[in-house]
């Protein structure tokens, strides 16, 4: 579904809305009036910045330079690595009363 940009002719507020092509002229209301659809250039995401791997390639036993998303995906797949991401893990917490800590096998998560 295309993303359309609309602007308010009164207060100059801008909003983006996903619309079916046949709904592109169904402008949202703002300040009590329909907003105007703006023609904007397509938004294209560039490739990743090159980086040097932290973990060695299992085949070559060397750290590599990665220059593209495709190369990054292939490197992860070839080495059976998983993207760490920024997901929060729900790890068990020790209770202040017990003073004990648990050992956690992160590979089991």
Q: Per-residue pLDDT tens, the chain, 109 aa: give them.
A: 788 899 999 999 999 998 888 998 899 999 999 999 998 877 677 788 999 998 899 999 999 999 999 999 999 999 998 887 766 666 666 555 555 545 555 555 5
Q: How confident is the model at residue 41, as a pLDDT?
A: 78
Residues 75 and 60 in one domain: yes
Residue 104: per-residue pLDDT: 52
pLDDT at 40: 81
For residues 61 and 41, give the distance between their C-alpha atoms in angstroms, rounded to a whole number: 44
Q: Are residues 49 and 76 in the same domain?
A: yes
Whole-model pTM over 0.75:
no
What long-range pairs does 97-105 form, CB within 8 A, spacing at least 24? Answer: none
Q: Are residues 25 and 53 in the same domain?
A: no
CA distance linking residue 64 with residue 72, whole number of Å: 10
pLDDT at 32: 95
pLDDT of 46 reads 79
Domain range enclosing 61: 45-81
Domain shared by 50 and 34, yes or no: no
């Amino acid at each position: 579904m295309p993303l359309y940009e609309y602007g308010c002719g009164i207060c100059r507020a801008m909003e983006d809305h996903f619309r079916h092509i046949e709904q592109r002229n169904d402008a949202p209301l703002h300040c009590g009036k329909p907003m105007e659809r703006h023609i904007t250039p397509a938004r294209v995401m560039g490739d990743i910045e090159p980086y040097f791997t932290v973990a060695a390639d299992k085949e070559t036993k060397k750290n590599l330079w990665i220059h593209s998303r495709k190369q990054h995906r292939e490197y992860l797949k070839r080495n059976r690595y998983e993207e760490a991401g920024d997901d929060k893990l729900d790890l068990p917490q020790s209770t202040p009363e017990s003073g004990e800590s648990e050992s956690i096998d992160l590979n089991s998560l």
